[in-house]
Structure 1
Amino acid sequence: MDIVTPSPHRLDRREFVSVGALAALLAAAPARAAAAPSGAAAQDGVRWITLDNGHKVWTQRVGSGKTKVLLLHGGPGFSHDYLQCFADYLPQAGYELYFYDQLGCGLSDRPEDTSLWTLPRYLDELEQVRTALGLETFVLYGHSWGGILGTEYALRHPERLSGLVISNMSASIADYVSYIAKLRSSLPEAARKELDRLEAAGQSESEAYTAIVERELYPRYILRLDPHPEPVLKAFTAVNPVIYRQMAGPNEFVFSGNLEGWDRWADLPRIQTPTLVMGARYDEMDPASMKRQAEMLPHGSLFISEKGSHLSMWDDQRAYFQALLKFLGTIRA
């Protein structure tokens, strides 16, 4: 297992970006990213893809290059908006970047058929999107729930991937549930007591319970920035609660959705694709699990943000993208 860490040393020419170019990107991009408008406003590169079920999903290509990178947002039920900061780094470094709103999310169609919100159907959807975009071989990036989808895709279609990035997602829901319980126990005493009271009253799925989770957990382990960047606020506002509840649950502390039994620890050694596992010290996913995950992957690399959270592409942006670009530089188109 390789450890991917930010380095001041000169990068190999095969990594596409010189240190000077990378430094310029890292210095200039955060200022733009903090105020970046949604990619929905700029129609360049936008393509609507009609799925086999007749519904349409939104995609957008930004930049051009031999190495193609498709982004899978988290949730389930969020939108691509919070990943807009990727447009400030990857295209300038020579990568062809694809944003994609999964069905029911963001700009894509929002059908009311709840039978659509399952992992197998989203996996089929991803392959349809890949085919429509003409991505014969590409790098697949998945954040949070997108990491689950990316892991499944790597197991089903390894021949399509030149690289895989699993960002801020453990290899099982049980592992996540165990760690989030530890984080709950670390919250202020008053918050814990109120959560206990609501649980005893059978109100662990109530708005009051969720409000405490958002007030106490989010600033510590989801995003350690105040105020939140506009693209993050947009993604939080645009979340599809039906998808989130059906697949995950009402909030981070109560996982009751149809992903509850998901577990791929035993299958990680089957993934031969070069894979970067990204985690953070203040993540809602256990950093130790991220390390274990990278060690179990035959060609795994690891990056742990020392000051970031679940959205470390924002609150530890410089280190996050330096590690990501360094990994992408090892991938052949």
Structure 2
Amino acid sequence: MATPIEGSYDGLAPFHWPAARKPLQTWYRIFGDLSSSVAPLVIIHGGPGFPHNYLLNHRALTDTYSVPVIFYDQIGSGLSTRLPETASSTDFPDFWTVEIFNKQLRQLLVHLKIEGRYDILGSSWGGMMGSHFAHTRPAGLRRLILANSAATKSLSIANRKRFREQLPREIQDVLDRVEKEDAWNSEEAGGVMMEFARRHACTVFPFPEDMMASIRIGGEDTTACYTIGEDLNGNPFKSGGYMGEWTMVGKAAMIEVPTLLINGIDEFASGDAMKPFLDEIPDVRLITMEGTSHSPHVEKKEEYMKIVGDFLAAL
């Protein structure tokens, strides 16, 4: 069952980014009252290009803790302006970097008039991006939650490769053949990667409707994901371009706000993948949720929401 959106409202905020060469808009949805005394929570989705839908059950924070919750789609995905023309690195050189996402968030905060006081929860890539945003020490940021977010892309890829080696031999053989033939868009590759996702991305199967919506909508435009180098030519076990060099090492120390790290077992941000955050952020704590993978908000929703709600409410 999809998360109900009754009691919320959505809107469009202008986004000015001259390099896009056209007007842009950020789509957002809000649960709760932004004028309340409780600091609003901005949810940053993963991908890039995996829109907000899979995180909608965070509305529970509004229902249980009266936290105003703001969802939005990053530029290039979901209901925000899509930019398929920017896939050409010749016509749009260096277009897809973290800076466009940071700028979009800054402008959304101003549009909603909450730039003076807010919290951030970033999921997967959303936490990677959110950590970079936080290291710029933006005025108004109160607390930061990095959920299932690796501190470097190389550590995330290392986990993926390790999990691949643990798959049944027959699945590894398919992946080896797909890689050799560069057939990552094939039906066969899709089938084995779905099995990989069931083990390490979300152990609840069939996947919830919210997650399936993100999968479906994200697949409509993969420009941001592929151009930034999240997957190298569709290969989920390699990364390249801007994303291939992604790291918060040496930057995380500049995050000033109380920070909560959440991860699962045998997921992309497990093990050492979050260690640079732990080593560098001055005020940080890590909670590893047993029995979860990359989607603890789905796999153990009540426990996860309590962890997040308690952290946001702490003095």
- Residue 155 (structure 1) shift: 1.2
- Residue 214 (structure 1) shift: 2.0
Partner residue in 2 for 1:193: 173
Query: 1:90 aligns to what SS in structure 2?
Result: helix
Given residue 63 of structure 1, which amino acid in structure 2 is its aligned partner? G
- The CA distance in 1 between the partners of 2:312 and 2:156, in whole Å, is 27
Is 1:275 aligned with 2:259? yes
Percent identity of equivalent pairs:
24
Q: Equivalent residues in 2 for 1:147-226 (5 A)?
A: 147-201=127-181, 203=182, 205-208=184-187, 210-226=189-205
Query: 1:187 aligns to what SS in structure 2?
Result: coil
Query: 2:177 aligns to what SS in structure 1?
Result: helix
- Residue 206 (structure 1) shift: 4.0
- The CA distance in 1 between the partners of 2:76 and 2:16, in whole Å, is 15
- Residue 146 (structure 1) shift: 0.4
- Give the 3 Å change call, closer, same or farther, for CA 175–209 of structure 1 in structure 2: farther
Match of 2:43 among 50, 71, 77: 71
Partner residue in 2 for 1:8: none
Match of 1:52 among 3, 6, 16: 16
- The CA distance in 2 between the partners of 1:209 and 1:252, in whole Å, is 14
- Give the 3 Å change call, closer, same or farther, for CA 152–209 of structure 1 in structure 2: farther
Q: CA contact under 8 A between 1:48 and 1:59: conserved in structure 2?
A: yes
How many pairs align? 294
Q: Equivalent residues in 2 for 1:317-328 (5 A)?
A: 317-328=301-312
TM-score (norm 2): 0.87
- Give the 3 Å change call, closer, same or farther, for CA 274–213 of structure 1 in structure 2: farther
Q: Equivalent residues in 2 for 1:125-144 (5 A)?
A: 125-135=104-114, 136-144=116-124
- The CA distance in 2 between the partners of 1:213 and 1:127, in whole Å, is 39
Partner residue in 2 for 1:315: 299
CA RMSD of aligned residues (A): 2.0
Q: Which moved more, 1:126-135 or 1:115-124?
A: 115-124
Is 1:234 aligned with 2:202? no
Match of 2:224 among 243, 254, 258: 243
Match of 1:83 among 47, 51, 55: 55
Query: 1:163 aligns to what SS in structure 2?
Result: strand
- Residue 79 (structure 1) shift: 1.1
- Give the 3 Å change call, closer, same or farther, for CA 44–280 of structure 1 in structure 2: closer
Q: CA contact under 8 A between 2:136 and 2:254: conserved in structure 1?
A: no
Q: CA contact under 8 A between 1:158 and 1:271: conserved in structure 2?
A: no
- The CA distance in 2 between the partners of 1:79 and 1:176, in whole Å, is 20
- The CA distance in 1 between the partners of 2:112 and 2:63, in whole Å, is 17
Structure 1's unaligned 5+ residue stretches are: 1-33
Structure 2's unaligned 5+ residue stretches are: 18-22, 87-91
- The CA distance in 2 between the partners of 1:309 and 1:233, in whole Å, is 17
* Structure number with higher relative contact order (C-alpha < 8 Å, ≥ 6 residues apart): 1
Partner residue in 2 for 1:117: 96
Q: CA contact under 8 A between 1:140 and 1:150: conserved in structure 2?
A: yes
TM-score (norm 1): 0.82
Partner residue in 2 for 1:264: 248
Q: CA contact under 8 A between 1:119 and 1:259: conserved in structure 2?
A: no
- The CA distance in 2 between the partners of 1:305 and 1:291, in whole Å, is 16
Q: CA contact under 8 A between 2:53 and 2:213: conserved in structure 1?
A: yes
Partner residue in 2 for 1:305: 289
- Residue 213 (structure 1) shift: 4.5
Q: CA contact under 8 A between 1:68 and 1:139: conserved in structure 2?
A: yes
Partner residue in 2 for 1:14: none
Match of 2:269 among 285, 289, 299: 285
Given residue 113 of structure 2, which amino acid in structure 1 is its aligned partner? G
Query: 1:301 aligns to what SS in structure 2?
Result: strand
Given residue 211 of structure 1, which amino acid in structure 2 is its aligned partner? G
Q: Deviations over 1:200-255 (max 9, x none)?
A: 34x16442564155232110011111221111110110003222211212242132
Given residue 98 of structure 2, which amino acid in structure 1 is its aligned partner? L
